[in-house]
């Protein structure tokens, strides 16, 4: 199986939670990593199925009143996740920023800037609030990821603000 970043997202979340249903993975991804890595909900279920088929996750019935199936990492799944986490190869970022594409192709920055400043400013405030609320409880890696989001949103807010200031 060719493991994609979405597959590693699923393996990583199941690893962090110990065991999880696809729904648990979806909720945890939305609660934590979604600002940095979006994965469509339907894709989570499909990736979980492929990882089970590949032997990287195993499913079992959860006890209790609700009959739901939860997944755990297999030894192979743990090894694949560990190998990926230790891989230091840099893959260049492809910044697929729709607003920048529009500017490059002739859009007027002053028309787009107000909405961009507002949207990036709102996301920046959310990240800063998240840092304030849970910053002390994050792992060093999680703190770095959150700092990436803060710096990115700050940079985008400043960039679009500069378009307004050039009027």
Q: Is 117 inside a domain boundary?
A: yes
Global pTM reads 0.74
Answer yes or no: do 47 and 80 share one domain.
yes
The mean-pLDDT minimum among 69-83, 111-125, 131-145 falls in: 131-145
Residues 44 and 102 in one domain: no
Residues 108 and 41 in one domain: no
Give the tens place of pLDDT for each residue, 88-129: 999 887 777 889 889 889 999 989 999 999 999 999 999 999
- Asked whether residue 76 falls in the same domain as residue 107, the answer is no
Residue 91 in any domain: the answer is: no
Number of domains in the chain: 2
Classify residue 93: in a domain, yes or no.
Answer: no
Shared-domain flag, residues 80 and 103: no
End-of-domain residue from the set 30, 61, 86: 86
Domain boundary among 86, 117, 152: 86
pLDDT for residue 66: 63
Residue 130 and residue 74 in one domain: no
* Joined tokens for residue 149: 């989001």
Q: Quick one: pLDDT at residue 166?
A: 84
User: Domain boundary residue among 26, 54, 86?
Assistant: 86
Percent share of the chain, pLDDT over 70: 96
Q: What is the DSSP string of 23-77?
A: HHHHHHHHHTTTTT----HHHHHHHHHHHHHTTSEEEEE--SSS--EEEEE-HHH
Query: Look-up: residue for tokens 């609030």?
Result: 129
55 and 105 share one domain: no
Domain of 47, CATH number, reads 1.10.10.10
Question: H or E stretch including 15?
Answer: helix 5-17
Q: What is the residue range of 13's domain?
A: 5-86
- Average pLDDT value for the chain: 90
3-state helix, strand, coil in the chain (%, to 5): 65, 5, 30
pLDDT for 136: 86
Q: Tell me the three state secondary structure of residue 20.
A: strand
pLDDT digits (tens, 9 = 90+) for 39-68: 888 899 999 999 999 999 999 877 665 667
Instruction: For residues 20 and 82, state if they share a domain.
Output: yes
């Amino acid at each position: 199986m060719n493991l994609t970043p979405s597959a590693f997202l699923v393996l990583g979340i199941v690893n962090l939670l110990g065991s999880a249903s696809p729904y648990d993975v979806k909720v945890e991804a939305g609660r934590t990593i979604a600002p940095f890595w979006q994965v469509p909900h339907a894709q989570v279920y499909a990736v979980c199925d492929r990882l089970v088929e590949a032997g990287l996750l195993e499913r079992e019935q959860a006890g209790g009143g609700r009959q739901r199936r939860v997944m755990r990492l297999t030894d192979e799944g743990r090894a694949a996740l560990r190998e990926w986490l230790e891989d230091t190869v840099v893959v260049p970022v492809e910044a697929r920023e729709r607003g920048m594409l529009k500017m490059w192709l002739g859009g007027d920055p002053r028309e787009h800037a107000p909405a961009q400043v507002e949207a990036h400013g709102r996301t920046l405030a959310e990240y800063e609030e998240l840092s304030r609320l849970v910053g002390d409880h994050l792992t060093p890696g999680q703190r770095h990821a959150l700092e990436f989001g803060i710096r990115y949103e700050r940079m985008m807010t400043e960039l679009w603000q500069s378009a307004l200031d050039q009027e």
